[in-house]
Structure 1
């Protein structure tokens, strides 16, 4: 009994009833047009004074008109929003955005027609039936109503019919609630089929997810390269400065000063980059293509990596495209981070050749006496270098060659 009462009068049933009444309100303009059209041919006395046949004729004319208007782009977003709010349908089960394609538009028109058509019937019954049912149920307790013309017309002066009026009125109200609940449940089921995502919608959603994943991966690469390099460079410079101070040689104080200056420049630059990337993350935006330094900041990067890093540039870096300049900077940054992490203190040579149609980046450092400790799941630095090169149509090769570790990257300009 309790489950039946919840099904008929619970919150979900009430919201779906409201959804049907809203559909009936939306159908009123179409029904009015149908009434005027029939009245012009049948000489009907008015929109509310015609016969039942005229009223249902106007209803039949209004349905195709509603289907036509549902072909407009805003029809599906509005229908989906209302269905999610009032029909109790999970948000991810319905499509987003305007309907695209003939099938999606046809299903949207079918849904809108079903909504306003069923809503018109339920709304009409909700307006007309309750007053009649309440009056009927009140007959045994209302002598004046029994003696009225309506009571004599229905023959309610007979005792057995009089007392049957009370349960009959209550059954009418119960039947109305049951019909509204069943119709609301039917609309909720049909919403999944008619307003659900089409293959084109699923493809668009997959493309959006792929774009979001690429944006997150790009953000992760930016943070990894910037912060990882800064920590490695600061650690290397601080360690070198500490060793010089331990020796107590006053002649090497200039080296300590240079190391501290490099630490200051590296941390300041990294904090600025970190603020920019995290600002995008807080706003929920994608990482823009122009975010991050380029090859014009390469000398500062090398200077912050320490005195054992030698930079050689062949050709002019100014004409290098902005995207390639930024990605090349990140590649050099990651190469320096990799050298500092696995072979800290050894000389590193960086060569850039921009004289041809390809930008060539070569980085070398002697192999350490002990092999570096491998991470449990592998590092992401060289993998990120390869991803950056491949995205621009280039190649990246890293590994030991003739006693040195070499990173060679070639990217077309």
Structure 2
């Protein structure tokens, strides 16, 4: 268990990530004050002089993206290290440009931490390697980390592996510390988390909308097919059977078109996508319901063709579900449809008598009627379904302002 980190590649990529951070202060120290025989003061100067320019450079918006990609690649190796976005694939590291001064400040803190921690780990790593060489009896010239004490243990050859063990412990511990700091300073900001949450919510809403589309379209087509087939078999009339088959064919073709459109949405292809049907195609719904044996009377008032696109499309689906519900639960009964486009609101009412001896379903108990209420709520309206005056009614009111 204790040796497991030593056989993981991520342990050494983290250590390398820190070593890269030490390049800037070492280069600055070679220029001033010089590192031929460095003292503690020399290393302090070499570590502090680059802080202002490094922090200023980290304030650039693109610096956060660069640091995030490096952290993903070297602190969290794997396929997710190359995925763009805020904290994707479980790394918790943002790889987007800074969107606020808070993000810039955290990036600057990270850049300074990485530089100073890298310099400290570099000095200690070199010193431990030199200690191992000295303890093994190898002659070592004046070390680069000359400010640290030189080991001198007589007959300490058997202690030579000890600095190497300490170096491995340093590699593991420093890498874990750097990862924790990266998660805190390079993690997604509140704005990025909210954006990710909004995108996830949009995806869920889209999935629910697609599920409703499939339920309404395919449910309507299958209900008509079942009712038409049953009526044709009971009638035993070749002419009626021909009409029933034609209605089944038409509703099936419309359902296939809706299915293809929904599948294109799921595949997210860039090609042209068929537009969803609107209320201007309501005559097709009414005719298909009539062909199943239901006596449908419709009253349309107001400029329905001028309704906003979202209202027209959702009203079409709600009318489709109401007719499907009537045919499925009541059979070929008289159905009254009223559609009204008023200046400030849109009204839809579908009513049919409750068959004798058949108790009506509980209001809103089905997923279809629940979908009607959801569609109405999304448009700021309301929907009601239940028994009133001996009729089963579905009533929808949508605001137009």
Deviations along 1:280-312, one digit per CA (max 9) or x if unpaired, are 223499xx9x85211232112222223323333
Give the C-alpha shift of residue 209 in structure 1.
Answer: 2.9
Contact 1:259 1:306 in 2 (8 A): no
Partner of 1:254: 239
Contact 2:24 2:115 in 1 (8 A): no
Go from structure 1 to structure 2 and tell me whether the alpha carbon gap of 1:205 and 1:284 turns closer, same or farther (over 3 Å shift): farther
Q: Which has the larger displacement, 322-331 or 390-399?
A: 390-399
Give the C-alpha shift of residue 327 in structure 1.
Answer: 0.8
Deviations along 1:388-413, one digit per CA (max 9) or x if unpaired, are 22222223222222222222222233
Partner of 2:311: 324
Partner of 2:176: 185
Given the two structures, how large is their TM-score scaled by the length of structure 1? 0.78
Given the two structures, how large is their TM-score scaled by the length of structure 2? 0.80
Partner of 1:157: none
Go from structure 1 to structure 2 and tell me whether the alpha carbon gap of 1:182 and 1:23 turns closer, same or farther (over 3 Å shift): closer
* Aligned residue-pair number: 374
Is 1:16 matched up with 2:11? Answer: yes
Partner of 1:170: 161
After TM superposition, what 4+ stretches of structure 1 lie above 6 angstroms from structure 2? none
CA distance in 1, matches of 2:360, 2:68: 55
Contact 1:236 1:340 in 2 (8 A): yes
Partner residue of 2:380 out of 384, 393, 405: 393
Partner residue of 2:54 out of 55, 66, 77: 66
CA distance in 1, matches of 2:225, 2:389: 30
CA distance in 1, matches of 2:211, 2:333: 28
**Which has more radius of gyration?**
1
Partner of 2:329: 342
CA distance in 1, matches of 2:25, 2:312: 62
SS state at 1:117 partner: helix
SS state at 1:185 partner: helix
Go from structure 1 to structure 2 and tell me whether the alpha carbon gap of 1:161 and 1:112 turns closer, same or farther (over 3 Å shift): closer
Give the C-alpha shift of residue 346 in structure 1.
Answer: 0.7
SS state at 2:284 partner: helix
Q: Which has the higher helix share?
A: 1
Go from structure 1 to structure 2 and tell me whether the alpha carbon gap of 1:16 and 1:109 turns closer, same or farther (over 3 Å shift): farther
CA distance in 2, matches of 1:124, 1:281: 55
Go from structure 1 to structure 2 and tell me whether the alpha carbon gap of 1:370 and 1:149 turns closer, same or farther (over 3 Å shift): closer
Contact 1:133 1:170 in 2 (8 A): no
* Unaligned segments of structure 2, at least 5 residues: 78-86, 143-151
CA distance in 1, matches of 2:205, 2:383: 20
CA distance in 2, matches of 1:85, 1:409: 54
